[in-house]
Structure 1
Amino acid sequence: MFELFNEIGIIEQLSRTAFEAVMTDGMTLPQFSVLNHLVRVGDGRTPLAIARAFQVPKTSMSHTLAKLDQADLIEMRPNPEDGRGKLVFITAKGRAARESAIHALAPEIAQILPVFTVQEAAALLPGLRKLREFLDKARDPL
């Protein structure tokens, strides 16, 4: 199991570097990850819920959200259930920026295909999903 997690960690480092090298407009991986999260799980999350999902301190997430908000990639709206709280919504510009980031990665991904096929990737997905779901359920709340 250590070898599995070691490989995942190395892949994360290498893919982060490749991702950030092709990003435009200074988008960072944490910023993209928030946009991707909102597309995947839906709008209307609190900053604390997003911080918990990423297992980062609320202050770190607040900084990332502030950058996204300044760039009009997200919109912070008042939480109708909590007068002091906010809810996070991805904007049309944020969705477009996410799609642009994915397209910017296409040449990097194309370089992988001769040595690691789509079929090989598809074969790994069920096991990786199962591992992610287990780890997601087992984590301690912040």
Structure 2
Amino acid sequence: MLFEVFKEIGIIEQLSRAQLEARLPDGLIAPHFAVLNHLINRGDGAVPIDMARAFQVPKTSMTHTLKGLAAKGYVAFRDNPKDGRSKTVWLTQKGRDLRERTIRDLAPVFGDLMGEIDHEALIGILPTLVRLREVMDAARD
């Protein structure tokens, strides 16, 4: 049964990624948007190596993603006051605006979904999904 749950979650992730990426500017993909969300949720000043750990990707992959976002003006690097050898990552206003615009652009899609899904049932599964994520997140450390 657990495999079936993860299969459905995977399919939902693929479908939702396609919806998201259709609303992002050319050259940006879901992992770029995930970084913007991470910086909103975590706060500015993240260190790339910590971000790589959080996303469970190699540091080189995170560096590549961050450089792409910086080249487009969505994030900026600053010297790390705690360690002169590393940088910290800061969301620019352009990055904040992109995130908010993308969420706003997804609203009609979410509205359509909510017209097809039992709202109470969705609320009912959220605690289980949160707990599943928490258990899996704790197990990776």
| TM-score calculated relative to the size of structure 1 | 0.91
SS in 2 for 1:114: helix
- The equivalent residue for 2:104 is 103
SS of 1:43's equivalent? coil
2:31 is equivalent to residue 30 of structure 1: yes
Q: In structure 1, what is the equivalent of residue 73 of structure 2?
A: 72
> Does residue 6 of structure 2 align to residue 8 of structure 1?
no
C-alpha contact 1:75 1:91 (8 A) present in aligned 2: yes
Give the residue type in structure 2 aligned to 1:65. Answer: L
Q: Structure 2: any 5+ residue segments left out of the alignment?
A: none
The letter for the 1-side match of 2:16 is S
Shift of 1:17: 1.2
Return the offset for 1:20: 0.8
5+ residue gaps, structure 1, are none
- Paired residue secondary structure (1:15): helix
Q: Which moved more, 1:49-58 or 1:102-111?
A: 102-111
* Deviation, structure 1 residue 22: 2.2
d(CA) in 1 for partners of 2:26, 2:99: 12
Equivalent residues in 2 for 1:43-82, closer than 5 Å: 43-82=44-83
Distance (whole Å) between structure 2 residues aligned to residue 56 and residue 117 of structure 1: 35
In 2, Cα distance between equivalents of 1:11 and 1:88: 30
TM-score, with structure 2 as normaliser: 0.92
User: Does the residue aligned with 2:116 lie in a helix, a strand or coil?
Assistant: coil
Q: 1:107 to 1:89 in 2, by over 3 A?
A: same
Higher normalized contact order (CA 8 Å, seq sep 6+, divided by chain length): 1
Segment of structure 1 superposing worse, 93-102 or 24-33: 24-33
Deviation of 1:55 after TM superposition, in Å, equals 0.6
For residue 47 of structure 1, report the CA deviation from its aligned partner.
Answer: 0.4
CA distance in 2, matches of 1:133, 1:15: 21
Distance verdict in 2 for CA 1:133–1:97, change over 3 Å: same
Letter in 2 for 1:40: N
Paired AA for residue 60 in structure 1: S
User: What RMSD in Å do the two structures reach over aligned CA positions?
Assistant: 1.4
Q: What is the number of equivalent residue pairs in this alignment?
A: 140
